[in-house]
Chain A
């Protein structure tokens, strides 16, 4: 199974390692040709405004929108969650988001880097807590009717799923716990 990793900018390497651990084949995606060839996609953490620009300049913006509309299974972490959201708050006016999941996300909602934290999270469907790393992290302010909230911090959703789209405000790729990547792989037909 070829899982694309949007490699325009951000924490690509740790996701590749996680996917390999689970027997999937990560493929870096920087061009429309590379996107056409994958069965699923990970949009990693990084700087969402930078990714938005590079999606335009690389010619990926249109093809990505088409594949997401056609149901491409996609996992967005942190900046990736912002890229996949319906609405972005505290973003740039020209920032792209792809409306792949019906959530409203607030950028840097937990604060600046000095407020970044790690914590154990209770996650629906997992027996043991998941140790989650939040870095200048966003959270979800509003969810649409079709969205399942799988984990929250102080009442703010930080892990959500809708159909083949999984988004997290935190970074499962930065720890060795592969359970959320495994959940994502089950979304790929």
Chain B
């Protein structure tokens, strides 16, 4: 390995800036980020056209089944996945567990997911994400939560959905809540923006920014319960800019074919003829769960 060259043409070269951190999220748009638990799955994901992989020890449906405390993955496992893929590798830290995040940064992961799928480590505080060079993605169920995470330094927001269920209904609820409130804020007058900030428990400048731009200050992706190509296209048509698929791929009958189909469906999300074509003959999807039957809802974690 040669040493990483540093730019010579300027004294002002900087790493870890908001532009650079949000920039990687821009590059992932229109793509599928897949949960993988070992190098073999990582290869299948990359072969299928994933834009990134999320390295974790157990997919959410197994975490849900096993119960107990879910933590950061073993660094050896993350290293193993980094070694076989050329695409970005993400990994999860527990909510508020900034030391797990420090370790993930030291391992050179490309994005840290401060994730409700793992057992929270702090009941009041999320990680101060401004303190890191590595960018963070955080889950949100509504716009207020999204803006609080952005104020803490998150560079990408994803819907939480309800991970490990194969049921897209919660992701739809979260996306509609976020994009619906954004639409309303664009129509609000100056006085109403103060009330919006109060109601959302979010910083006023971020609410004012949304009023101006009509969009979240960082990319908005969808996660939680996606299982078939049509789910990915639904998320995209509802305003998500990329999708995470967790248990949906490797808990299905034919992960490779399903992964490829979801990649195509995410690109061609507005073309029903292509969606019909790629949805054919994929074998059984992961078994789904009714939200009402769950003992633990991951989406309720985070503050």
Chain A residues in the interface with B (C-beta under 8 A): 7-14, 30-31, 45-47, 49-50, 53-54, 57-58, 78-79, 90-92, 107-122, 129, 133-136, 139, 151-156, 171, 174-175
Do A10 and B29 touch across chains, with their CB atoms under 8 A apart? yes
Size of the B side of the interface (Cβ < 8 Å), in residues, is 47
Instruction: Count A-B contacts at CB 8 Å.
Output: 159
Q: Are A10 and B30 in contact (CB under 8 A)?
A: yes
Contacts of B49 in A (CB 8 A): 49-50, 53-54
- Say yes or no: is B225 at the interface (Cβ < 8 Å to chain A): no
Interface hits, B1-57 → A, CB 8 Å: 4-10, 12-17, 19-20, 23-24, 26-31, 46, 48-52
User: In whole angstroms, what is the CA distance A14 to B271 when docked?
Assistant: 23
* Given the contacts A79-B27, A118-B17, A135-B27, A154 and B108 also touching, CB distance less than 8 Å: no
> What are 27 A-B pairs with beta-carbon distances under 8 A?
A10-B26, A10-B30, A13-B26, A30-B267, A30-B268, A30-B271, A31-B271, A46-B28, A47-B52, A49-B49, A50-B50, A50-B51, A58-B268, A79-B27, A108-B86, A112-B110, A114-B105, A115-B15, A116-B24, A117-B14, A118-B12, A119-B12, A120-B9, A133-B19, A133-B20, A151-B9, A154-B6
Q: Are A116 and B30 in contact (CB under 8 A)?
A: no
Interface centre among B8, B9, B111, B267 (most CB of A within 10 A): B9
Provide the bound-state CA to CA distance between A11 and B12, in Å: 25
List, in ascending order, chain B residues with CB within 8 A of A122's CB: 9
A92 B86 Cβ-Cβ under 8 A: yes
B220 shortest CB reach to chain A, Å: 12
Residues of B within 8 A of A153 (CB): 5, 7-9
Residue A120 contacts which of B12, B48, B86 (CB distance < 8 angstroms)? B12
Contact A118 B27 (CB under 8 A): no
- A8 and B267 within 8 A (CB): yes
Q: Quick check: is B263 within 8 A (CB to CB) of the other chain? A: yes
Q: Is B264 an interface residue (CB 8 A)?
A: yes
Where chain B touches its partner, the secondary structure class is loop
Leading 10 A-B pairs by shortest Cβ distance:
A113-B110, A119-B13, A53-B49, A120-B10, A9-B30, A119-B7, A47-B51, A154-B5, A11-B26, A111-B4
Given contacts A91-B86, A136-B110, A154-B6, contact A117 B15 (CB under 8 A): yes
Secondary structure at the A interface, as helix, strand, loop or mixed, is loop
Checking A11, A57, A129, A156 against B5 with a beta-carbon cut-off of 8 angstroms, the contacting residue is: A156
A50 to chain B, nearest CB (A): 5
| Smallest CB separation, B252 vs chain A (Å) | 19
B88–A136 touching, CB < 8 Å? yes
Find out whether the CB atom of A57 lies under 8 angstroms from the CB atom of B264.
yes
Please state if A8 and B8 are interface contacts (CB–CB under 8 Å): no
B residues 120-154 with Cβ under 8 Å of A? 133-135
Known: A112-B108, A114-B108. A135 touches B20 (CB 8 A): yes
Q: Is there an interface contact between B7 and A117, defined as CB atoms closer than 8 Å?
A: yes
Q: Are A119 and B30 in contact (CB under 8 A)?
A: no
CB of B197 within 8 Å of the partner chain: no
Distance, CA A46 to CA B267, complexed state (A): 13
Task: Give the residue name and chain of the A residue nearest to B270 (CB).
Answer: A30
Instruction: Enumerate chain B residues within 8 angstroms of A7, measured Cβ to Cβ.
Output: 30, 267
